Structure 1
Amino acid sequence: MNKFTKLGLFTLLLATVVFSSCKKDYETIESVDDAAIQSYLKQNNLTFTKDTGKEYYYKITTQGTGSAVTNQDSIYYTYTFKTLSGQVLKQIPDLMILGTYLGYTDQFAINSTTVNYIFAPVREVLTKLNRGGKATLIMPSHLAFGKNGLAALNIGSNENIIVDLVMYNESKRHEIDELEINKFIANNNLTLIKDPSRARYSISTPGTGTDAINLNSTIVANYTVRYLDGTVIPQSSDQITEVLTNLYKGWQLILPGKVTAGGKLRLVIPSDLANGTPLDFDIEIVSVTN
């Protein structure tokens, strides 16, 4: 056996040992994940189905009575990510319902503006539901955040993740807007007038100004704007001076003929009258110039 043959044989044996070692470590992580998940299920007397191909566990709690969906269908859904101990890591509430194609529901931008995590089990479990369905998924760590975890969300190394999933029966944006706004009103015990535009408003002070607001009016207004979950949207200033036609469509439809200078109102507008998501405003009209 010449030197080159001996060297080649040695390299092949070394590569085989390294590959076997890596494969063994990877399989060990899988087995540790699976043991932890099975222990969790046993302790909590839960029955889940195991996907033998991908090694995740899931349970369909509500199949849903709506239509079946495929990857090219738009769906609206929410999720809650949490640890096996119950610590909530990230949650999309039912006042901020997500909308996308089913085929994109495995893609997550977490603390980033770009997609940087792919969780195939999320999409696969949603695929098993009809519209209106609910399911719980348990992702082993090697299909979730792996050995590095995610410090920004306090996710530790090799953390198994529970994902609660809800797919809504509604399939159109305006239907979801109505669902969210109605829930928001009920949650906050509000009494609001519903405009034909689907905006809701309540006028606490109509104002005493003599100039009526029209689309060409320049208005000075103090305002606060929030998402429906109560999160205040930061603005460079709490006061705005602008021609009404340059402001939110919802403002253009509600302010004229209803308030004047000195007027105060609460205004909730659906996504098509806002910037793509329903918004909740407190508005005070300081002055009107025609």
Structure 2
Amino acid sequence: MNKFTKLSLLTILLATVLFSACKKEYETIQSIDENAIQSYIKANNLNMTKASTGYYYNIITPGSGAEIKNPDSVFYSYTFKLLNGTQLTKSSTVVIPSTFLGYTDRFTIGGSSYVFTPIREVLTMLKRGGTARLILPSNMAFGRNGLESVGVGPNENILVELGVYSQSKIHQIDELQMDNFLSANSLTAVKDLSRVRYIVTQQGTGAPIFATSTLSVNYTGRLLTGTIFQASSEPTSIELASAIKGWLVLQNFKVGTKVRLFIPSDLAYGQAGRLDDTGSYYVVPPNSVLDFDVEIVSVTN
């Protein structure tokens, strides 16, 4: 046997040993995951089903109404936890996530993007108002590296709690988001017939305002997350008829008024949202409720 043949055989043997070692380690991790998950299920007296791909799930509340299809919009909630109860990340009740059901497996966590197919599969089993939980074994979650930035160690199993909101229309979600925001911030607002909510912080006594008026205003525009997307540095002229529809509520007031407005998405930038001047990114994402502070400095009628 020549030296080349011996070297080739040695290389193949070494590769086989390494492959076997990796395979053995992977199987060992799977076994550890399985034991940990089974212990968690038993300790918490849960009745969970194991999917053919290896994750566990439990439909807590099936929900009601028509079955949700992949092309349907769905408003949902999620909470990611370790099995010891440590919370990693969760959705907001103020800015409620929405997407087509077929895209509900995509997440950005700790600055990285992930696709968790089991989450979409379990959400597919729910109807509006439904809730569920699932357990992702480590190899279907963050793997052997974990995700240190949010506190996930190597080979951690992940519990995900899911819910589908009963609301199916964006205007219903707008109302819920405004309700939740006001409640979370202990605010009380008046609801106009237009569905705009407002809080008057200073009552004006100057000239009246009409739909055809041109206003000079100081203002700050925010998303419900608190992110400022636009603000005036000095009084700015705005034709009320050309402004977003929600600003027409300013006809209720007079010059000198300071008011905070909460504007539903369809009376703001709607499904289109608003891009920056270069068209590169959204300064106002689609279907965003807006939060404005407005001071009416003067009016031209």
TM-score range with shorter-chain normalisation? Answer: 0.7 to 0.9
Verify: 1:159 aligned to 2:126, yes or no.
no
**Whole-Å Cα distance in 1 between the matches of residues 154 and 38 of structure 2?**
19
1:270 to 243, 256, 264: 264
* One-letter amino acid matched to 1:220: V
- Residue 117 to residue 8, structure 1, CA distance change in 2 (3 Å): same
* One-letter amino acid matched to 1:120: T
Larger displacement relative to structure 2 (66-75 or 181-190):
181-190
**In the alignment, is the contact (CA less than 8 A) between 2:62 and 2:131 conserved in 1?**
yes
**Whole-Å Cα distance in 1 between the matches of residues 62 and 98 of structure 2?**
19
* One-letter amino acid matched to 1:163: V
Partner of 1:15: 15
Partner of 2:174: 177
- Residue 69 to residue 224, structure 1, CA distance change in 2 (3 Å): closer
Q: Aligned-pair distance for 1:133?
A: 1.0
1:210 to 207, 232, 236: 207
**In the alignment, is the contact (CA less than 8 A) between 1:213 and 1:288 conserved in 2?**
no
Verify: 1:126 aligned to 2:123, yes or no.
yes
In structure 2, stretches of 5+ residues that fail to align are 270-286
With the length of structure 2 as denominator, give the TM-score of the two structures: 0.82
The DSSP-based 3-state class of the residue aligned with 1:76 is strand
The DSSP-based 3-state class of the residue aligned with 2:166 is coil
Verify: 1:286 aligned to 2:286, yes or no.
no
The DSSP-based 3-state class of the residue aligned with 1:6 is helix
Q: Aligned-pair distance for 1:81?
A: 1.1
**Whole-Å Cα distance in 1 between the matches of residues 198 and 41 of structure 2?**
48
Partner of 2:282: none
Q: Aligned-pair distance for 1:132?
A: 1.9
Q: Aligned-pair distance for 1:66?
A: 2.0
The number of residues matched between the two structures is 281
Q: Aligned-pair distance for 1:220?
A: 1.9
CA RMSD of aligned residues (A): 2.6
Per-residue CA deviations over 1:55-83 (Å, capped at 9, x if unaligned) read: 21111110111222232222111111122
* One-letter amino acid matched to 1:37: I
The DSSP-based 3-state class of the residue aligned with 1:116 is strand
Verify: 1:261 aligned to 2:258, yes or no.
no
Matches within 5 A, 1:61-80: 61-80=60-79
Q: Aligned-pair distance for 1:177?
A: 1.6
Partner of 2:245: 249
Partner of 1:232: 226
Q: Aligned-pair distance for 1:225?
A: 3.4
**Whole-Å Cα distance in 2 between the matches of residues 226 and 73 of structure 1?**
25
* One-letter amino acid matched to 2:34: D
Q: Aligned-pair distance for 1:149?
A: 1.9
With the length of structure 1 as denominator, give the TM-score of the two structures: 0.84
Verify: 1:42 aligned to 2:42, yes or no.
yes
In structure 1, stretches of 5+ residues that fail to align are none
1:220 to 205, 214, 217: 217
Query: Aligned residues: percent identity?
Result: 49
